[in-house]
Each structure stands twice: as structure tokens, then as C-alpha cells.
Amino acid sequence: MLEGFVPVTAASELPPGSMKWVVIDRERVLIANVAGSYYALRDVCGHAGAPLSTGELVGYAIECPLHYACFDVRTGKLLSGPVSGDVPTYEVRVEEDTVYVKR
């Protein structure tokens, strides 16, 4: 068991180019697979609170479904849109078929 990490999903359930949301400590967390690497970030847009997991994932960019702010899924950095802040990210590890996120 990885210290401080919680298992969130099976890696095989999240093929490249896809994403899903999970709950960790009552907070929605988006898990994305881009080209075989897994990323985790807060599933809440800092503008009006839309769930980013219902937006579009295009390469490493995730687009908010509400007003189309774009964030880099690797860093949470704002790329464009009507938001002033980045989205918090979480450390991710994969062991065998399990994706873990650090809380």
C-alpha cells in the first residue's frame, strides 16, 4: 500500500483519451488518461463550479463544459477562458491495474 494514497479506479477501466470522476474525502476528483499516463485534478472549474469531467478532453487540454475555460490536465494551469485561477492537481501512482491518488 502506498503511504497517503487511496485507490480510485482500475487503470484498465480508463482507456487513453478518457476521464472519469471519483470522490475522495467528499471532494470530486477528475482522473484522466492521456496517452497512457494518468492525471488527477479537482473536478470543479474555478469560474462557476462546473464539473470539468463532463467537458471535453482534447490531448492534454480539458475544456470546461459551461463557459469553455481550458486547463492543462498535467498541471491544472489555466490555458484560456474566463477564469483567473488554476485547478489544483493531485499526485497519481499506478501499480498493476490500480490507479492511486494522493490525498
Binding site for ligand FES (CB under 6 A): 45, 47-48, 50, 64, 66-67, 69, 81-83
Cα of 49 vs its chain's centroid, Å: 14
**What are the phi and psi torsion angles at 66 (to 5°)?**
-90, -55
Q: How far is the CB of 44 from ligand FES (least distance, A)?
A: 9
User: In this complex, which beta carbon is closest to ligand FES, that of residue 34 or of residue 43?
Assistant: 43
User: In this complex, which beta carbon is closest to ligand FES, that of residue 37 or of residue 54?
Assistant: 54
Q: How far is the CB of 2 from ligand FES (least distance, A)?
A: 32
Cβ distance 87 to 8 under 8 Å? no
User: In this complex, which beta carbon is closest to ligand FES, that of residue 7 or of residue 81?
Assistant: 81
DSSP code at position 36? T
Cell numbers describing residue 77: 494551469
Element (H, E) at 82: none
Q: How far is the CB of 57 from ligand FES (least distance, A)?
A: 15
C-alpha span between 19 and 37 (Å, rounded): 12
Q: How far is the CB of 51 from ligand FES (least distance, A)?
A: 9
